[in-house]
Structure 1
Amino acid sequence: MALFHRLVRFMDPADQIFFGELGDKVPISQQELVGLETGVFQPGLLPWQEGFKLSGARAKIEKILSPLPSVPQFLCIGLNYRQHAEEANFPIPEFPLVFSKPPDTLAGPYEEIEIPLEAKCMDYEAECCVIIGKDLKSPLPSESLDPYILGYSVGNDVSARYWQDPGRSGGQHGFAKSFDKFAPFGPTIVSPETLGDITKLTMTTRVNGELRQESRLDDLIFSIDQLLRHLSMGRTVKAGTVVMTGTPSGVAAFMKPAPQWLVKGDVVEIMLEGVGTIKNTFV
């Protein structure tokens, strides 16, 4: 049985930080959650640690925070939607294209994202995120990976395409995507049991209200199971790691007749059914 349905991390009016249970509430905005009173979990514990359970106490939400206070890393997959491969005019990959983002790219679901002066050609990438709840290394082919998945969330693999250009990156993706706060995600972590079959879910991106990305997750090239087995070959994927599973078609880089890069003041909203919506302003 899942320890939670929809996990949210928040600050109360006294500046205390809690993990709370939203139950069947799917948050569309921070505003609709502020003032809501919810059951909270035992303080001082992370969701994968022993003893993490509802405490019986309740607290009022003042501010929604990142679902986790820190992460070991973000493991990310490029080119994992068929329609995105088509818009980029790239062949379907034989193996997952893997890169990583460091811990300081973590940002909350409603935080402002600073555009550094050096970060040019700014882009968004809607991502279904898998949160690892138990250290995973070299599972047997017959072994179920369900016990290793804490839950799902939604994020934005923010990218400065200028630094993703092969001439500047050597064909590597990570540097362009590793500026501070370039990985906002949230607003909840939803248990696999609550979310069900993720391939039936739809994910969307809106920039200043304009729909840019819309795809069901059945367009994924590599399934969650395939990705986790590939990522954990001979190496430990630690609990708390966030796996960003790729982005659908509709990114700014491939818009016609010209790319529509993010600029100061743009508001990016990314929604995953059952999980909620993150909303970040670029400053």
Structure 2
Amino acid sequence: MSLKKASEKEIEAFSLPLDEVRLLAPLAHPPKIICLGLNYLDHIEEDVTGRGKAVPSEPIIFIKPHTTIIGHGQSIIKPSFVKQLDYEAELAIVMGARAKNVSAEEARSCIFGYTILNDITARDIQLKDIQWTRGKSFDTFAPIGPCIVTQNQIPDPTNLYIRTWVNGELRQNSTTKNMIFNVYEIVHHLSRVMTLEPCDIIATGTPAGVGYALKPEPKFLQDGDIVRIEIEGIGTLENKVVEVKF
């Protein structure tokens, strides 16, 4: 089974003015959300995790639950006990076909398209745990959107600008050329470990400029902050931070 690409006539038949709708996440219940850590050379230089600046020889992966997903315009919920909330702009792969033990060359035909994922992270929790799952798995910690762009509309995903603003201040300004493992190599490596399925989401890592690494001191997300991410060819994903006392 694979995802079907809609024709232009089918798209036009269901078109509505953007200001008349509320965008939901383009995928709400993917089979898996697989994320890469430390996949940008410029991000490794920041040494956020304290692992040093060694370049990984294989992808570093972790998984987020689908309950982290929200769409464009929805609120990122910051629990009041989380003191170091951070953003991570990421190009996300959306799988279109089953993939197991595929080569990097074969991976292209298995990809349906691309979207934006903000890998929201509670740094104070992530960095005191041995692994990263808890600090990255709170509800609303994976804004996704605003849409999925099919792979034929992005002929070169290895050379896209990726930028993040917080309250209008530019924080991340990089390009997917800085990836250590490109999108096709990522699918190849992951498919050697697990079967990738249609609608799986793969977040490909974040570039330099996360709040934790800013100088002279970190800048973490606070109640009311607006995070806006742009990736070339895909669009803009924007979400507001709302603090809630639990």
TM-score of the pair, normalised by structure 2:
0.89
Larger Rg: 1
Q: Is the 8 A contact 1:132 1:238 kept in 2?
A: yes
Q: CA offset at residue 185 of structure 1?
A: 1.2
Select which of 227, 240, 259 maps to 2:186. Answer: 227
Q: Distance in 1 between matches of 2:15 and 2:147?
A: 17
Amino acid at match of 1:106: I
Partner of 1:157: 119
User: What secondary structure sits across from 2:228 in the alignment?
Assistant: strand
Partner of 2:34: 75
Q: CA offset at residue 49 of structure 1?
A: 4.3
Q: Distance in 2 between matches of 1:205 and 1:234?
A: 31
Partner of 1:240: 199
Amino acid at match of 1:161: R
Q: Distance in 1 between matches of 2:166 and 2:232?
A: 18
Higher share in helix:
2
Partner of 1:252: 211
Q: Is the 8 A contact 1:125 1:251 kept in 2?
A: yes
Q: Is the 8 A contact 2:28 2:66 kept in 1?
A: no
Partner of 1:57: 13
Percent identical residues: 38
Q: CA separation of 1:188/1:117 partners in 2, compared to 1, >3 Å: closer, same or farther?
A: same
Q: Is the 8 A contact 2:105 2:184 kept in 1?
A: no
Select which of 126, 151, 160 maps to 2:89. Answer: 126
User: What secondary structure sits across from 1:145 in the alignment?
Assistant: helix
Q: Is the 8 A contact 2:30 2:66 kept in 1?
A: yes
Q: CA offset at residue 97 of structure 1?
A: 0.7
Higher relative contact order, chain-length normalized (CA < 8 Å, sep 6+): 2
- After superposition, residues 1-283 of structure 1 pair within 5 angstroms as 48-49=2-3, 54=10, 57-61=13-17, 62-88=21-47, 89-139=52-102, 141=103, 144-165=106-127, 168-170=128-130, 172-283=131-242
Q: Distance in 2 between matches of 1:245 and 1:81?
A: 9
Q: Distance in 2 between matches of 1:55 and 1:94?
A: 42
Q: CA separation of 1:221/1:49 partners in 2, compared to 1, >3 Å: closer, same or farther?
A: closer
Count of residues in correspondence between the two structures: 233
| CA displacement, residues 150-174 of structure 1 (integer Å, 9 cap, x when unaligned) | 1011110000001111xx311x112
Q: CA separation of 1:259/1:239 partners in 2, compared to 1, >3 Å: closer, same or farther?
A: same
The gaps in structure 1 that reach 5 residues or longer are 1-46
The gaps in structure 2 that reach 5 residues or longer are none
Q: CA offset at residue 142 of structure 1?
A: 7.6
Deviating more after overlay: 121-130 vs 192-201: 192-201
Q: Distance in 2 between matches of 1:280 and 1:261?
A: 15
Q: Is the 8 A contact 2:157 2:183 kept in 1?
A: no
Q: CA separation of 1:151/1:49 partners in 2, compared to 1, >3 Å: closer, same or farther?
A: closer
Root-mean-square deviation over aligned CA pairs: 1.9
